[in-house]
Amino acid sequence: MSFPERELTRLAAAVLQPGFVGTTPPPWIRRWLADGLGAVVLFARNVAGPEQLAGLTAALRAERPDVVVAIDEEAGDVTRIESTRGSSRPGNLALGAVDDPALTEAVARDLGLELAAAGVTLNYAPDADVNSNPGNPVIGVRSFGADPDLVARHTAAWVRGLQTGGVAACAKHFPGHGDTRVDSHHDLPVIGASGAALRAGELVPFRAAVAAGVQAVMTGHLLVPALDPTLPATLSPYILGGLLREELGFHGVVVTDAIEMRAVADRYGLAGAAVRALAAGADAVCVGGEHADEETATRLRDAIVAAVRGGELPEERLAEAAKRVGELAAWTVAARARTTGAARPGATVGLAAARRAVRVTGTPAGAGLLPLTRPPHVVEFAPPRNIAIGPETPWGVAAPLAALLPGTTTARYDRDATPTDPTAEAVGRPLVLVVRDLHRHDWMRTAVTRALAARPDAVVVELGVPELVTGAVHLATHGATRACARAAAERLTAG
The predicted structure's pLDDT at residue 495 = 65
Return the closest-CA partner of residue 20 out of 12, 11, 30. 30
Mean pLDDT of 262-277: 95
What letter represents residue 412's amino acid? Answer: R
pLDDT tens column, 201-248 = 999 999 999 999 999 999 999 999 999 999 999 999 999 999 999 999
The predicted structure's pLDDT at residue 184 = 77
pTM above 0.75, yes or no: yes
185 is catalytic: yes
State CA 116 to chain mean position distance. Answer: 18
Of these residues, 72, 257, 283, 437, which one is catalytic?
257
Of these residues, 154, 173, 185, 221, which one is catalytic?
185
The CA–CA distances, whole Å, from 133 to 94, 143, 336 equal 17, 11, 37
Asked if pLDDT for residue 387 goes beyond 90, the answer is: no
Q: Are 425 and 410 in contact (CB under 8 A)?
A: no
66 is catalytic: no
The enclosing H or E element of 255 equals strand 253-255
Asked if pLDDT for residue 2 goes beyond 90, the answer is: no
Mean pLDDT of 269-279: 97
The CA–CA distances, whole Å, from 463 to 132, 283, 415, 486 equal 18, 37, 17, 12
Q: Are 377 and 410 in contact (CB under 8 A)?
A: yes
How many of the other CB atoms lie within 10 Å of CB of 288? Answer: 22
Q: How far apart are CA 441 and CA 383, in angstroms?
A: 7
pLDDT tens column, 319-374 = 999 999 999 999 999 999 998 888 887 668 999 999 999 999 999 999 999 999 99
Q: How far apart are CA 308 and CA 318, in angstroms?
A: 8
Domains defined for the chain, CATH in brackets: 5-339 (3.20.20.300), 358-493 (3.40.50)
Backbone torsion region of residue 43, taken as left when φ is above 0, otherwise alpha when ψ lies between -120 and 50, otherwise beta = beta
The predicted structure's pLDDT at residue 306 = 97
Mean pLDDT of 309-322: 97
Backbone torsion region of residue 93, taken as left when φ is above 0, otherwise alpha when ψ lies between -120 and 50, otherwise beta = alpha
Q: How far apart are CA 50 and CA 66, in angstroms?
A: 20
